[in-house]
Structure 1
C-alpha cells in the first residue's frame, strides 16, 4: 500500500466528512453540458462519492472507483451502489464512458506515471468523450501530510497532453479551493477524446 493510500485508509471518515458537502456546482456546469443526457460517467477517484451522487441524481449512469477500501465503503453507502476498489493502473475499460471525472485524484499520480494513466483514460472514453481533471496549482512533486502530490500548471499540462495525442484541450482555468478553510489554487482542465 502506498503512503497516500494509507493516508486515505487511516483518515477516511475525516476526509469523507470534510468533502461530502462541498458545493462543486460551478465545475459541474462546465463539464455536464459536454456529456449526453443520461450518459455514462466514470468518477475516477470518487473519494466521498459526492460528485457521483450528484451525477446519479441528475440521471447520468455512474461508475465510481477509488483506491481506498475505506472510502469505497463510505461512498458505496452514500450512492447505494458498488464502488470499484482499484487504482488507476488497474483500469481496463475501453470505449465505455461519455465522460471521466477525475476531481482532485490524478494529483496523487507521479509525473512519470501520468502519461500512461492519461492513455488509460483516453482508451476508456468513447470517441468525443471528455475528461475533467483538477490539480493543485504549481510545478512541484512533493509529499505533504503523508500524501504525494503532483502539482500542475498550464505549461506542464500542455507537455502532458503531448504524450497523449488522442486527447485535446477544450479549456483550462484556475479556481480557488471550494472548501472555506483552504487557501489554495487549482488548475482545472477539460480535454476531449478523438
Structure 2
C-alpha cells in the first residue's frame, strides 16, 4: 500500500519536482543503463516521477513503460514523446507477466516503500525480468525509516543491506555508485545505486 502523505506531496508538487530534476541530458548512470540495452528493449520505469528518465530511454530507441502511484506525476510523464505512462503502485508488479521486461529502472522510487515490503517487491521484479535482464535501483543511504520535512516517507539502506536483499531476490548486484544531491525538500542527502542482473 502506497503512503498517502507521500503521494499527496508528489501530486501537489509534481511540476516543481519536474523542474528540480530536469537536465539537458541523461545522467551518467542512466546513460550507462541505456547503453547496456539493445534498441527496442522493453523497460519498466518503476516510480517514473515526471517521466524524464523514460523520455531519454525513448529517445535512445528503447520502449519505456512508465509507472507511478502519483496521478500528478503520471499526467506529466504521459505528455512526453515515446512514453507510455500509467497510474500504478509497487503492488501492481504482482499483476505483470513473468519475463515481460528486458529491464526495470527504479531510480529513487522504491525508497518510499516500507522496508518490510521491499523483499516482496524485489522478488516480483526478478520474476518479471527476462533472463539476463537489468535492474537499476537507487536509494538514500542510511538506516531506518523517517519522513522528510515535506512529510514524504523514506526507508534508508546501507550497501550491505541492499546487496543481501538483491541476492535473496535472485539478482546479482554489480558495482555500487554513490553521490550526494539536493532534493525537493532542499536537503542534501547521500545516495547509493546499483544495477543488478537477473
The normalised TM-score by structure 2 is 0.88
Q: 2:146 aligns with which of 142, 147, 166?
A: 142
Aligned length: 191
After TM superposition, the structure 1 = structure 2 runs for residues 1-194 of structure 1, keeping only pairs within 5 Å, are: 2-21=4-23, 23-79=25-81, 81-91=83-93, 92-93=95-96, 94-144=98-148, 145-164=150-169, 166-177=170-181, 183-193=188-198
Tell me how far 1:115 sits from its aligned partner: 0.3
Deviation at 1:182, TM superposition (A): 5.5
**Aligned-residue CA RMSD (Å):** 1.9
SS at match of 1:6: helix
**Alpha-carbon contact 1:97-1:126 (below 8 Å) kept:** yes
Distance 1:106 1:17, change over 3 A: same
The answer on whether the counterparts of 1:69 and 1:85 sit within 8 Å (CA) in structure 2 is yes
- Equivalent residues of 2:175, 2:195 under 8 A apart: yes
> Deviation string for 1:41-62 (max 9, x for gaps)?
1111110110001000110111
- Please give the alpha-carbon distance, in whole angstroms, between the structure 1 residues aligned to 2:128 and 2:165: 18
Q: Provide the rounded CA distance (Å) in 2 between the counterparts of 1:126 and 1:27.
A: 21
Q: How many Å apart are 1:176 and its aligned residue?
A: 2.4
Q: Which of structure 1's runs of 4+ aligned residues deviate more than 4 A?
A: none
Uncovered stretches (5+) of structure 1, i.e. residues with no partner: none
1:23 deviation in Å?
4.9
> In structure 2, what is the Cα distance between the partners aligned to 1:35 and 1:122?
17
